[in-house]
Chain A
Amino acid sequence: MVGIPILVIVLIVIYPTIWMFYHAFHDTNMMSLFRQDWQPVGFQNFEAVLTSERFRNSLWHLAIYLTFGACLQVVLGTILALILYESVKTGWMRVVLLIIMVLPMMLPPSITGILWRFLLQASNGAVNHILLNVGILEGTERIDWFSVDLSLWSLVIADTWQWTALPLLIVFSGRVSLPPAVYEAAKVDGASGYQVMRRLTLPMLREIIAIAFILRFMDAYKFVDKVYVMTSGGPAQSSELPVYIAFQTGIREFQVGLAAGYAIIIFVGAALIITLFLQYLKRVMRNAGVVD
């Protein structure tokens, strides 16, 4: 009985991983795969990745995307969650509002991407229309959301629209479970709303917010679907992210060896960042007394 899960794990996790590591050190591509002869090339694939300007640009895009995507979502989500908690006290109203806010999260990311590709269209997209109506744009002025300068930001917008509800949900449930007695004590002590927020609520929610951020970060790190349907990394590779390049190289161009090199470097990067996060989380949790 135990054998079956192990077999499954070997088949879907371990075997492909070994396969990937093997080909990362070979010049495997469509032709060599077809002919079943590939040559070992040492670290050439990794060298190619690390020296490529395209990869370095994509790292920069990733940094922007993580900062303004994941961070923005967590900050927005936290603010919305706290506003929702403070201003809506009726139980069913809260549920209704939460459901509405969570709806975007329930769409498949690719569908969301397509939706936003339409909304952000330069000539007759809804967003430009609204900007026109409120007077930010005039006459024939249009914002080209999929230009070199803006296409990465279009991804950030679409992703934020879809995922802000996740940190919102997490922070909201965290806020709900904070002890009411502490707030009563603060009220009796005469603390102002700002003092309560700054000195009590946010510090008490610190671990929760950190967890929400880590979740969003991990998801954003492997973000690829919206890039694919919205911008295809363009124009001129201006919205390419590392995972998208790996995907392109491997699936589109069938340069399996190079793609494996990409994948391993991305994997190592992820492992490093997650380790740092876990260190941080452990420290935070130790401070909060969750673990020893």
Chain B
Amino acid sequence: MARVTLDKVNKIYPSRHGDVHAVQDLDLAIEDGEFVALLGPSGCGKTSTLRMIVGLEAISGGVIAFDGQPVNDQTPEQRNVAMAFETYALYPTFTVAQNLAFPLEVKGVDKATRDEKVAEVARLLRIEPILDSFPRQLSGGQQQRVSLGRALIRDPAVFILDEVMSHLDAHLKFQMLFELKRIHQTLERTIVYVTHDQMEALALADRVAVMSDAKLQQFGDRDTLYDRPANTFVAGFIGEPPTNFLEAEVRDDGTTMRLTIRDASAAFVPDGPRAAAIRDQGLRTVIVGIRPQNLHVRHDEGDEQITATVEINEYQGEHSILSLRDGAAEFRAMVPPSVKTGEGETIDLSYRSRDVMVFHPETEVFIS
């Protein structure tokens, strides 16, 4: 059990073509027993962060502490962390069963207990039929589950899981996510889970840390990330299809504020507090962010409305994606599949003014 805190943690890889600053001033406070996901695009520094938490990579700057005790100088063994590697890192000369049992074997756990634990983990991860195979005989997804199993078989202070589901098919992934969630609920261990799949992160984690460009962008639960994204990166990264961003000019007559989309006729109306914030900062232009899900064909009491021309109506089963145009502005809306408006036709779309997100035109920071 451990509370894991990262305080201004940096990772710099020296290299001949200039240093690579892979993690920059990362602050993160993970509560004891919390399930945290580290989410971000490829190369943003997720694995580097994990490796520093585990103790496989020297910390270039800052402090990592477990339960308040700095662990910068401790070995992985002293930190008592279990890790599942992105590259699996299975022991090639061992069978699957031996791989799973190795962490227990080195701790001197007796054979009977080992076998019992191996059987249990194998059942959980659906790898019983391959227990006697060698890693080289396994598919990517099978190796991945063995690697996950080798971490889960332990009883560590923290579980560190690096992209442990990236090679599983959708069905299996769903089952594994469920198992992992259940394991977390039974064991109540701290879990740090790295992924670049937001679905996994949002489904599993209590809180999600969104990283980009070596920096932490935002750390919060799914509602916070969804409704109050720290900046355009988070707003664009969380949610599928991605948020529409539109440059807008502020038209303000003192009572109602309209954000007129540049080179278009549409204008969005922000809610009261946001309008006030824009006024406070004296902004002339802003970036408007509106999620495709928040543009509706149904009109409710108090909704605002815009009109646009449909360019593509893409049927996707449970919903359709409309690619829309208004002047020079392009954006998308997610509508029920019953909407049959075709190419070139105009459509009226409603939105609630509190769903209009507004970002600073230069810093791209969320304005609340």
Most chain B CB atoms below 10 A, which of A185, A188, A195: A188
Give the Cβ gap from B344 to chain A, nearest Cβ, in Å.
55
Give the Cβ gap from B124 to chain A, nearest Cβ, in Å.
19
The A contact surface, by secondary structure, is helix
CA distance A288 to B102 in the complex (A): 19
Does A210 sit within 8 A of B, measured CB to CB?
A: no
Q: Which of B5-56 contact A (CB under 8 A)?
A: 54, 56
| Stretch from B86-94, B185-193, B196-204, B284-292 that touches the partner | B86-94
Q: B129-154 CB contact bits vs A (8 Å, 1 = yes)?
A: 00000101100000000000010001
CA distance A199 to B94 in the complex (A): 9
Does A139 sit within 8 A of B, measured CB to CB?
A: no
Contact status A187-B93, CB under 8 Å:
no
Partner of A192, one of B54, B102, B106, B136: B106
Q: Which of B57-113 contact A (CB under 8 A)?
A: 75-77, 81-83, 85, 87-93, 102-103, 106-107
CA distance A204 to B92 in the complex (A): 8
CA distance A128 to B90 in the complex (A): 52
Write the chain A residue with the least CB distance to B76: A188
Give the Cβ gap from A176 to chain B, nearest Cβ, in Å.
16
Chain B residues, CB < 8 A from A195: 106
Contact status A182-B76, CB under 8 Å:
no
Interface size on B, residues (CB 8 A): 25
Contact status B103-A189, CB under 8 Å:
yes
CA distance A181 to B90 in the complex (A): 8
CA distance A191 to B107 in the complex (A): 8
Q: A218-261 CB contact bits vs B (8 Å, 1 = yes)?
A: 00000000000000000000000000000000000000000000
Give the Cβ gap from A207 to chain B, nearest Cβ, in Å.
10
Contact status B92-A190, CB under 8 Å:
no
Contact status B89-A203, CB under 8 Å:
no
Chain A residues, CB < 8 A from B76: 187-188, 190
Q: What are 17 contact pairs spanning A and B, CB under 8 A? A: A179-B89, A181-B88, A182-B91, A182-B92, A184-B85, A184-B89, A185-B89, A185-B91, A187-B77, A190-B76, A191-B102, A192-B106, A200-B93, A203-B93, A204-B93, A206-B93, A289-B134
Query: Closest 6 interchain pairs by CB?
Result: A181-B89, A190-B77, A185-B89, A203-B93, A189-B103, A191-B106
Q: Which residues of B contact A (CB under 8 A)?
A: 54, 56, 75-77, 81-83, 85, 87-93, 102-103, 106-107, 134, 136-137, 150, 154
